[in-house]
Structure 1
Amino acid sequence: MTGSTVSRRAFGKFLRQIRLDAGKAALAAGLRIEVSKQTLLRLEDGIPTKIATSQLRDLLAFYEVGPEVEAEALNLWEEVREQAKAQQQQGNSKGFWRPYSDQYEAHFPHYLRLESAADRVVTHQLVLMPGLLQTPDYRRGVIHIEEPDISAVDLERRIELTARRQQRLDDPCFRLDALLSEAILRHRPAAGAVVAEQLRSLAEATERPNVTIRVIPFEAGPHPGLTTQSFTLLEFPRLDSGLVEPPVVYVEGGNSVGVYHERGDIVAKYGWTISALAAVALSEEGTRDLMLHCAKEFEA
């Protein structure tokens, strides 16, 4: 398996905490099991790393953990291995995005791994429709803005990648909550007819039981969304071991880069922001009415 999974990230966090509690440096720990410091840190970050169970046992012995902690670490490791084996049998161990590696920025696979593992995504967007909800023609318009000289082949491959991402919405165990600035309904990244189609598609998406879309109107007055960049909160399901993987916040930045936050206090701040935005957003029905009204304006 080449992608970070929820179980792998949980295992990595647990292993890092053991090392820190033991007061051991990453360099020394890596030397103990004959791997580099970078390899050990990749393991702790939840990035697939080739180590044997015997090496893990040696590492735990180096940390001088008790039998209960050792058993928990080995159980988590076994869960990682079983999940990797299951994904290999399903033929999707590399992630659906791998064939499109020449079509996205270096940081994007990490986000796609998180999105694929999440069971709930809450996104706050200021300028453009969320990728999970973009129609093909709307997506084409956005891509042309970023790369006006893109080839037809590369353009369609990116549309394919977006369509693969959107298959996540067909999973009844997955939930998407979108809080959108009214500006998104007014912007025109493509022809008026394309934007109108996008808005009608957005209205149809609200009929899905696992999708909620609410617009924050211009007249909402002061609210945290005015001083907060577009961001996405990703939450993950409980592991078979009973552990809960902490949520992650991805904050979008310029030039196709972003920042990931996992610290509890920072994630909690974004949770508060989401609650504050929901308090001033239109109802789902009001949002649908506004989207259809804007669609008519673009069609006029």
Structure 2
Amino acid sequence: MPAEGSTFARRALGQQLRTLRERAEVSQAAAARVLGISPQTMGRLEEGLSARSASDLYMNTLCNLYHVSDKERQLILALAHETRVTAKWGGGWWRPHLDRDITDFDPYAALEHQATRLTAWAVIRLPVLVRTPDYSRAVAWTDTPNAPTHHTEERVHRELKRQARLDDPDFTAEIILSEAALREEWGGPAVMAEQRQHLTELGQRPNISIRVVPFTTRNHIGASLGSFSLLEFPMMPKSRMTQPPIVHIEEHVGDLYLERSKEVARYTSAITELRRLASA
């Protein structure tokens, strides 16, 4: 039976709880005993299948057991609150970037790490996974021109760490670009020349596809869409259920995550059309 309400907040919470538990070298069964719940219920909590176990009492108990920092506790309690709130929704989540600034937690990056397949349509900016350091730096300077240099470098470092996902042969990335994404000169001609060469090299990997919809293509669906990513996930080990796909849309002040089947279907239909139009 599908879990109630939106799954996104639950999945983000479960992923963080599992990461903290494994770092603390606590078994799932031991954590379940401390909470007084079954290992199966603990597994459902970590797989994002239960909002009922996301009480502040349980979360604080686990934080104590895992010896987390104050900032990590703040994050867990915030995600637990969002889990309880979004249990009433039918699927979808808006998360302001200010929330990320407070907790240093990027829920998209966390889900990207779990996904087995990423399909992205990029209109002006290239997806993070395929950027060069100088390209990332130019984008960061544009977004936050008054940020201290070390903040910009920290952002670039985080983006480069995410690119390690491409080294996993079980992860597939399909990147479809508007020609505008190749023509926009982020950082200037030298940066873009290096970036285009990087894309060419990445496209030769067996698990990465990079194609372009040229300017000469008229009246196509991509012209009415902003950039988005579709994330698809593997079967979960405990429940043997497959997590539903998520569409991620990044805006200037926040991120929108869509998971209703009808909404996701409209984006998968758009991807099918973009594939038809794109050239290798």
TM-score range relative to shorter protein: 0.5 to 0.7
> How far apart are the structure 2 equivalents of 1:149 and 1:236?
37
Q: Paired residue for 1:242?
A: 240
TM-score (norm 1): 0.64
Cα distance in 2 for partners of 1:52, 1:44 equals 21
| Alignment equivalent of 1:161, drawn from 155, 158, 162 | 158
Equivalent residue for 1:184, pick from 181, 185, 202: 181
Structure 1 residues 45, 131: CA separation in 2 closer, same or farther (over 3 Å shift)?
A: same
Which structure has more helix as a fraction of its residues?
1
Q: 1:106 aligns with which of 92, 99, 120?
A: 99
Residues 92-241 of structure 1 aligned to structure 2 (within 5 Å) = 105-107=98-100, 109-240=106-237, 241=239
Separation in 1 of the partners of 2:98 and 2:166? 23
The structure number with the bigger radius of gyration is: 1
SS in 1 for 2:176: strand
CA distance 1:183–1:156, change in 2 (3 Å): same
Residue 189 of structure 1: how far off its partner (Å): 1.7
Question: What SS class does the counterpart of residue 146 from structure 2 fall into?
Answer: coil
2:156 and 2:231 map into 1 onto residues whose CA distance is: 23
Counterpart amino acid of residue 280 in structure 1: L
Cα deviation for residue 122 of structure 1 reads 0.4
CA RMSD of aligned residues (A): 3.2
Aligned length: 215
What stretches of structure 2 of length at least 5 have no aligned partner? 18-30, 49-67, 76-96
- Residues 56 and 135 (structure 1), Cα distance of their counterparts in 2 relative to 1, 3 Å cut: same
Q: Which among 10, 16, 23 is matched to residue 4 of structure 2?
A: 16
Q: Please give the secondary structure, in 2, of the residue aligned with 1:219.
A: coil
Structure 1 moving runs of 4+ over 6 Å:
41-44
Q: Identity of aligned pairs, percent?
A: 33
Alpha carbons 2:47, 2:236 under 8 Å: kept: no
Residues 15 and 154 of structure 1: CA distance in aligned 2, closer, same or farther (over 3 Å): same
After superposition, where does 1:86-97 map in structure 2 within 5 Å? none
The answer to whether the 8 Å contact 2:116/2:233 transfers is: yes
Contact 1:16 / 1:44 at 8 angstroms: preserved in 2?
Answer: no
Q: Give me the TM-score of the superposition, normalised by structure 2.
A: 0.68
